[in-house]
């Protein structure tokens, strides 16, 4: 049995991005995330988190930065007064890799269910 995404850690990846079917199966394991396209046209996953104020949004963004730096897999963050949008894709493969879904699960685990 494969460990859940939150139990895994990111590893260096290269080669081709995940096949659509593999990406869809992993996306099903991170509810609330959706597939999007980056400005460069690459496939990515993204989720918006809403907060009551800027202080909470900033605290969340800092926690995401710490966690993703530990994993050496860095997202694009869009921070606002009442929220933070997190987007992952893997530049080394030009699209999605398992690392994107691992980090999405780890980010979700920062907040209560």
pTM score above 0.85 = yes
Q: Which residues contact 29 (CB under 8 A, 6 or more apart)?
A: 4, 5, 101, 105
**Residue 45, CB half-sphere, CA atoms under 13 Å: how many?**
28
From edge to edge, which strands make up the β-sheet containing 34-37? 34-37, 43-50, 83-88, 76-80
Q: What domains does the chain contain, in order, with CATH numbers?
A: 36-113 (3.30.1360.20)
Q: Is 58 exposed, middle or buried (0-12, 13-18, 19+ CB in 10 A)?
A: middle
Phi, psi of 70 (to 5 degrees): -60, -40
pLDDT at residue number 1: 42
Query: Alpha-carbon torsion 61, 62, 63, 67, what sign?
Result: positive
Q: What is the DSSP letter of 90?
A: B
Question: 35-41 contacts: CB < 8 A, separation 24 or more?
Answer: 35/96, 36/87, 38/76, 38/87, 38/89
pLDDT band at 2 (very low <50, low <70, confident <90, very high): low
pLDDT band at 113 (very low <50, low <70, confident <90, very high): confident
State pLDDT tens for residues 53-103. 999 999 999 999 999 999 999 999 999 999 999 999 999 999 999 999 999
State pLDDT tens for residues 5-46. 999 999 999 999 999 999 999 999 999 999 999 999 999 999
């Amino acid at each position: 049995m494969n460990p859940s995404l939150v139990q895994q850690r990111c590893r260096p990846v290269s080669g081709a991005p995940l096949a659509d079917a593999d990406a869809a199966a992993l996306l099903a394991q991170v509810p609330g995330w959706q597939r999007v396209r980056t400005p460069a046209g690459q496939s990515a996953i993204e989720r918006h988190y809403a907060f009551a104020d800027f202080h909470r949004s900033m605290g969340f963004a800092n926690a995401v930065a710490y966690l993703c730096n530990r994993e050496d897999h860095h997202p694009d963050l869009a921070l606002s007064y009442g929220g933070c949008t997190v987007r992952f894709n893997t530049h080394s493969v030009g699209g999605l890799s398992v690392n994107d879904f691992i980090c999405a699960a780890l980010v979700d685990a920062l907040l209560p269910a």
